Structure 1
Amino acid sequence: MSRKSSKPARKVQAAPRRSLPVRMARGIARLLWKLSLRTVQLGLIVFAGAVLWFYVQLPAAEDLLDGRERGSVQMRDRHGELFAWRGEQGLVVPASQMSEDLRNAVVATEDKRFWRHFGVSPRGMLGAIRINLREGRGPLQGHGGSTITQQVVKLSFLGDLPTLQRKVLEIPYAVAMELAYSKEEILSIYMNRAYLGASANGFEAASQRYFGISASEVDVPQSAMLAGLLTAPSRYAPTSDLSRAQNRSQVILRLMHEQGYIGDAEFAQARANPAVLSAAAQRRSGGYFADWIMESGPDFLTSDTAEDVVISTTFDPAIQRAAEDGLTSVFEDLVREGSEAQAAVVVLSADGAVRGMVGGRAIGGAGTFNRATQALRQPGSAFKPFVYTAGLEQGVNASDFFVDRPVTIDIPGSGPWTPQNYGRTNLGPMSMAEAFARSTNTVAVVVSETAGRDNVIATARAMGLDSEMTNTPALALGASETTLLDITGAYATLLNRGRRAEPYGMRQVRLRDGDTLLLEAQPGLGDQVISERNAGIVTWMMTQVIEAPYGTGARASLGDRSVAGKTGTTQEARDAWFIGFSGDYVVGVWMGYDDNTPLTGVTGGGLPAEIWKRVMRGVHRGLTPTTLPVVVPIRPQPQAPARTAGAGSRGAGGSAPLPQAPRRVDEGLAGVVEGLLRGLLGGNN
């Protein structure tokens, strides 16, 4: 018999039925959760695929060390010292061979978690976004929060992409790099590719550029200054603003101290003794000269070079400083403050080697307008040595007398033309040398027309004046434009006794990493283009410009050193020149305004002659005086016939001799008075 349980049966209650909206919400949540998981899984798969894709395409680390698109140019002076850099400088050195202080400075500045992260720093990216938003910029504008690895990706592969697209791709690319390369290799790529101002790519090139030493030798202050360039290389370049670069380096020193790379004593020592530029970088000399070399040399070895080349030049830093100091001192001492007048100086050796060049008052400027080589200006009376040389070459006698009186030439299609002397006076009969020393315009026109304008042009070209010359009577007065370098080089022909000397600055071009000779100049004097005797006579006449009491260039006298020169002042004093030479150097000076505004109270015998004198004194400091190759002509006789020109005496293009008239011989008191007056009155400049 079965026993019934005394416990009552348990009543099972059904679970309460949830409402439809709750069930739908839970279903949607479960669906979203599953979709999110699938999305994350898909994202991880895509991310892994992207990492793998970039990983298999990455080249060897050493192939990424040099990221330059073209080569570099280094220029060395006549003594073999480096003085100028152009192109994209780059010297590949592994980070392990660079100074430990420099490596620490870079990491402290750019990516303090570099040694710990795996290519990306989420904390750094979020911090950068927060800073950008706080400063009122977009989340990706300004601070990027990029790691060094991400910056290597940008420098190597993604630099041309839009910001958002680049930021998205940087992350898998950076992870791929971390898988493919060691931290040392990534740091090496970064420290060799980073642009650091002044054409320097990489820290080795920058160390050489700014401090004249290898990146393996830089100390803590120098390391801090170099690392400080990474943020804004052009702004913080010490060659642009040393004090700004030093202030920036103080920030880097603080970061290094906070992160434990330098101790308290080293921090204090570095702050008290900031880095300074090397002597070569500090001088910044030769900017205009270097620009001229880059413009005048073959493109494939200069501006478009694919190789790293070294150019040996004729540049002399001591002569360059003399040229800069001479020009600067005159503007500081004798020109009103605030004047926008410009000036240029060229210094050549007798054989045409350019030793110094100042293309404007912005001393050391590079990439700026070079008034010594690019400005085409009228030379005025500085052209007259070519006129008188042509006259002598065509048979005009150095002992001839000329009459300074009004000259009128009828130019077909233009009418009569009457040149005026500088003082608008006429002094009557005078010797050829006196006319030249006084820079008398009327006599210069007579000599030009007698010799024939075609012959004047041919003589000037043979002597080295390559610019266009217009065949008009005003040719004799320097109405055709030229550059300071061209006309100074042409003057060297006179110093070389009639043999042409072509200005040159490039001696050799070699590959930087070897002894391969790519190009070599063949300096030396050219052909005999005018007779040695006539060159000597014109040189002697140029000494009278400075030595004679009536000469227009007396201000250029160097005392016991014999020099020859010629003044030049164009119409309305828009250009003022002094060009001349000693037995060793030829120096040309131009002064004027870039916009052709007339100079006030300036002639070639004034400030340009003063600049010339100060430059020459500096150039010749310590040199023994050298005798000039002069030929003194037979003293002119008063009874000799005088050449003259009256109204309408010449046509526009003929070359027949002008009519001659007997020289008036003054006697007694009248002759003495006229002689004294002629000695007191100045001629044309």
Structure 2
Amino acid sequence: MAQGSGRRPLVADKRYPKGGSRKGGGSTRRASAKAKKPEAGGLLARLFGGGKKPPSQKRAAPRKPKPAPRRSGRAKRGVLGVMLAPFRWAFRLVWGFAWRVGLVCTGIVVLAVGYQYAKLPEVAELLDGRARGSVTLLDEKGEVFAWRGDQFGGVVTTETVSKHLKNAVVATEDKRFYRHFGISPRGIASAVRINLSEGRGPLSGHGGSTITQQTAKLLCLGQVYDPDVWESERAYEADCRKGSLWRKATEAVYAMAMEAKYSKDEILSIYMNRAYMGGGAYGAEAAAQRYFGKSANQLSAAEGAMIAGLLTAPSSLAPTNNLKRSQDRAATVLRLMHEQGYLTAEETRLGQTNPAELSEAADARAGGYFADWVMDTVPSYFGDQTSEDVVIRTTLDQRLQTAVEEAMKHVFSTKVREGSKAQAAIVVMSADGAVRAMVGGRKTRVSGVFNRATQAKRQTGSAFKPFVYATALELGYSPLDKVLDAPYCLDIPGSGEWCPQNYTRKYYGEITLTQALRDSLNVPAVKISEAVGRDLVRRVAGDFGIDNEMAEGPALALGASESTLLEMTGAYAGILNGGSSVTPYGLTSLSLVGDSEPLMGSSGGMGERVIRPEAARQLVWMMEKVIAEGTGQRAQIPGWQAAGKSGTTQAARDAWFIGFTADYVAGVWMGYDDNTPLTGVTGGGLPAEIWHEAMVRVHAGLEPKPLPLQEPVPVAVPQQPTSERGNRPRLGQELGRAVDGILRDLFGN
């Protein structure tokens, strides 16, 4: 078309992109297009009935900036980034694994806590934690002198106990008790650190356990004793106290369940009721009564600290075992209470300078050797394994017990060299075998230890000789009969010749049997034993209560056999009571609490006659000479007749003195536990002095009584002389008459 026509060329507006035509002029066209666009939109709206409202104008999208060329990974991270890349990858892997495992473990713990929570009983069912019953021992007057078994004084709570006891327990056992959720990660970490620093395993020694965990352990994690599962209650308790990693984990779960179920004060109440606090006491009330003779709500700061201090080692720290050690521990507890704000500085000072002391009743109720011995004579189901509360009435006389303890201490403090390890034992009984006092060692107020009065079997030495002479008197010998004290030998099959000698290495010629016993001469004793027959001597001694295997050879007469002090004292009681056997006993009745009728009666007493009363009274007359004129003169009691016999074994390994008055029989043994020979000690020495000191105190305030003795009447009938070597003496006419009398008693007419 001609240029002058003025008409636009036929070119489509959108033939080229918005960026313009190929040759320019794009700006004019863009402006024209923008100017006409709303009109076109309006036309379309009208064509299709779009309504009156004009459409919004859509703005052109902004042009995106052209991205910069990507750099390589090495250039982006640098050398350090490349080196750390594996660690980043490993961390992401471990973290991803850890949080998933943690989530699973948390779920398991929550389920376990919920399971234990559902099993927990009400608080009231958990307060009495005794596995066994209690045994209360009464003396002859009916007064309590000892407790055994598991004592439970009654239920206490955090509201009813002394605040000092409650605070002392928290300060000592778990100072963060009211702030944790059952377990203390900080406490566990501290315990592991201490154990490792002391060269132990991480779980050995300090446990870092909270009060809640300790309570869980006391509850045995909810497991109840089942005899079909455990061999004994001891095995059950050992299993409850295992310290394995699995056990610790289970204990932590149980503790958290308790925290969810019970309040803090309820948990602390369970702990204070079930914890063992030494001396057979379970729970705060029993401990307060046991040691201080008062209720747990009356305890002072010093007393509360002492009880709380027992929790770490109740048996060794019990004040009835070692009061000084218990007081030292209480001083530490008082310091902890001050540091944690429970006590002022002045209260702490007063408690430490005035430590708690045992009450008189508590000190007297240790029981000691006598209580241990009585418990050993009781069937286990009524004794240390009882599930019931038992009351045992005994023969103990507490006045006499104190007397013999004081006598023991007096002699060892004044007449035994300092540092000596020598031991001694004393038994006092009535003529019927009722034991009134007993000391089994130099430490008088202890329990659960070796009792030398009842458990030590030692050679008796010359203390055995009265049974040789008892046999002779029973067969018709007279105390005035004579025997030749001269060199004497016997042929022992398999051993050769044996020649006994007197202690003085001297011989005294023809002497009476009374003189031979008075001076404890060995040769006459062997001759009499051989004359009457060793078998008969053995039988008489056994019938009197010496229940041990006796020596077979002629040394039987010199006390080569072994026996206990209790047996020997009981045998001498048989001489005093007129010749009847005696079974020493300490129990008079046993009953259950609340029952009016006893389940058991006396466990001993007098038995059958062993020798004639006349023979027994003559033997008492002979033994009275031992104390009045012979080897036992140190045992004399002013104003009282007394009879007895000393005994010293070979090499002085054992020294004895046993004797009696009209009221009491007492026996004393002295020696070393390892059989080391005593230095310069014989039965007529220190043992006689201990016997004297004991019996003087025992008879204080009593009216003197004469011994049941009978002085022999001289007989004109001459006795056959004793042979010099190997042959038994021939019995005289008195012996024949005695044998005839015995036969008539046995067979009549």
Give the structure-2-normalised TM-score.
0.79
Residue type of the alignment partner of 1:107: V
Range that drifts further, 517-526 or 206-215 = 517-526
Deviation by residue 1:213-252 (Cα, 9 ceiling, x = unmatched): 3323322221111112223334533334433333332333
Q: Does 1:44 align with 2:106?
A: yes
Deviation at 1:114, TM superposition (A): 3.4
Q: SS of the residue aligned with 2:250?
A: helix
CA radius of gyration, larger in: 2
Q: SS of the residue aligned with 1:222?
A: helix
Deviation at 1:286, TM superposition (A): 4.2
Q: How does 1:577-596 map to 2 (within 5 A)?
A: 577-596=656-675
Deviation at 1:168, TM superposition (A): 2.6
Q: How does 1:193-592 map to 2 (within 5 A)?
A: 193-262=274-343, 266-282=347-363, 286-512=367-593, 517-521=598-602, 524-548=605-629, 551-592=630-671
Deviation at 1:591, TM superposition (A): 1.8
Measure, in 2, the Cα distance between the counterparts of 1:480 and 1:524.
24
Deviation at 1:180, TM superposition (A): 2.5
Pair 1:124–1:368, CA change in 2 (3 A): closer
Residue in structure 1 matched with residue 63 of structure 2 by the alignment = 11
Pair 1:379–1:162, CA change in 2 (3 A): closer
Pair 1:278–1:592, CA change in 2 (3 A): same
Q: Does 1:646 align with 2:724?
A: yes
Pair 1:42–1:460, CA change in 2 (3 A): same
Residue in structure 2 matched with residue 668 of structure 1 by the alignment = none
Measure, in 2, the Cα distance between the counterparts of 1:18 and 1:128.
55
Residue in structure 1 matched with residue 706 of structure 2 by the alignment = 627
What number of residue pairs does the alignment pair up?
652
Residue in structure 2 matched with residue 653 of structure 1 by the alignment = none
Deviation at 1:104, TM superposition (A): 2.7
Pair 1:410–1:27, CA change in 2 (3 A): closer
Select the residue among 96, 102, 108 that pairs with 2:165.
102
Q: SS of the residue aligned with 1:207?
A: helix
Pair 1:19–1:621, CA change in 2 (3 A): farther
Q: Does 1:156 align with 2:219?
A: yes
Is the 1:402–1:642 contact (alpha carbons within 8 Å) kept by the matching residues of 2? no
Residue type of the alignment partner of 2:126: L
Range that drifts further, 615-624 or 374-383 = 374-383
Deviation at 1:632, TM superposition (A): 0.9
Measure, in 2, the Cα distance between the counterparts of 1:376 and 1:138.
44
Measure, in 2, the Cα distance between the counterparts of 1:484 and 1:452.
25
Q: SS of the residue aligned with 1:519?
A: coil
Deviation by residue 1:58-94 (Cα, 9 ceiling, x = unmatched): 2343343344444443433333333334444444513
Pair 1:13–1:282, CA change in 2 (3 A): farther
Is the 2:479–2:622 contact (alpha carbons within 8 Å) kept by the matching residues of 1? no
Is the 2:656–2:687 contact (alpha carbons within 8 Å) kept by the matching residues of 1? yes
Is the 2:156–2:285 contact (alpha carbons within 8 Å) kept by the matching residues of 1? no
Deviation at 1:561, TM superposition (A): 0.6
Q: How does 1:19-38 map to 2 (within 5 A)?
A: 38=100
Deviation at 1:499, TM superposition (A): 2.4
Deviation by residue 1:561-580 (Cα, 9 ceiling, x = unmatched): 11111111222322221110
List runs of 5+ in structure 2 lacking aligned partners. Answer: 1-31, 36-56, 222-239, 734-749
Residue type of the alignment partner of 1:646: E
Pair 1:18–1:114, CA change in 2 (3 A): farther
Select the residue among 50, 55, 64 that pairs with 2:126.
64
Is the 2:162–2:297 contact (alpha carbons within 8 Å) kept by the matching residues of 1? yes
Range that drifts further, 422-431 or 235-244 = 235-244
Range that drifts further, 442-451 or 497-506 = 442-451
Measure, in 1, the Cα distance between the counterparts of 2:597 and 2:273.
25
Measure, in 2, the Cα distance between the counterparts of 1:455 and 1:393.
10
Deviation at 1:545, TM superposition (A): 0.9
Pair 1:188–1:14, CA change in 2 (3 A): farther
Measure, in 1, the Cα distance between the counterparts of 2:275 and 2:178.
19
Measure, in 2, the Cα distance between the counterparts of 1:134 and 1:593.
42
Residue in structure 1 matched with residue 688 of structure 2 by the alignment = 609
Deviation at 1:175, TM superposition (A): 2.2
Deviation at 1:394, TM superposition (A): 1.1
Pair 1:453–1:279, CA change in 2 (3 A): same
Deviation by residue 1:301-321 (Cα, 9 ceiling, x = unmatched): 223333343322222232222
Deviation at 1:354, TM superposition (A): 1.1
Pair 1:53–1:407, CA change in 2 (3 A): same
Pair 1:107–1:513, CA change in 2 (3 A): farther
Measure, in 2, the Cα distance between the counterparts of 1:475 and 1:133.
62
Q: SS of the residue aligned with 1:576?
A: strand
Residue type of the alignment partner of 1:369: F
Residue in structure 2 matched with residue 679 of structure 1 by the alignment = none
How big is the alpha-carbon RMSD for the aligned residues of Structure 1 and Structure 2? 3.3
Pair 1:531–1:190, CA change in 2 (3 A): same
Is the 2:591–2:597 contact (alpha carbons within 8 Å) kept by the matching residues of 1? yes
Range that drifts further, 349-358 or 287-296 = 287-296
Q: Does 1:657 align with 2:719?
A: no
Measure, in 1, the Cα distance between the counterparts of 2:97 and 2:208.
31
Give the structure-1-normalised TM-score.
0.86
Residue type of the alignment partner of 1:420: Q
Is the 1:400–1:642 contact (alpha carbons within 8 Å) kept by the matching residues of 2? no
Deviation at 1:386, TM superposition (A): 1.0
List runs of 5+ in structure 1 lacking aligned partners. Answer: 651-655, 661-685
Range that drifts further, 374-383 or 535-544 = 374-383
Pair 1:275–1:14, CA change in 2 (3 A): farther
Range that drifts further, 568-577 or 251-260 = 251-260
Measure, in 2, the Cα distance between the counterparts of 1:27 and 1:378.
84
Pair 1:430–1:232, CA change in 2 (3 A): closer
Is the 1:643–1:658 contact (alpha carbons within 8 Å) kept by the matching residues of 2? no
Select the residue among 570, 586, 598 that pairs with 2:677.
598
Is the 1:401–1:642 contact (alpha carbons within 8 Å) kept by the matching residues of 2? no
Measure, in 1, the Cα distance between the counterparts of 2:526 and 2:195.
74
The percent identity for this pair of structures is 53
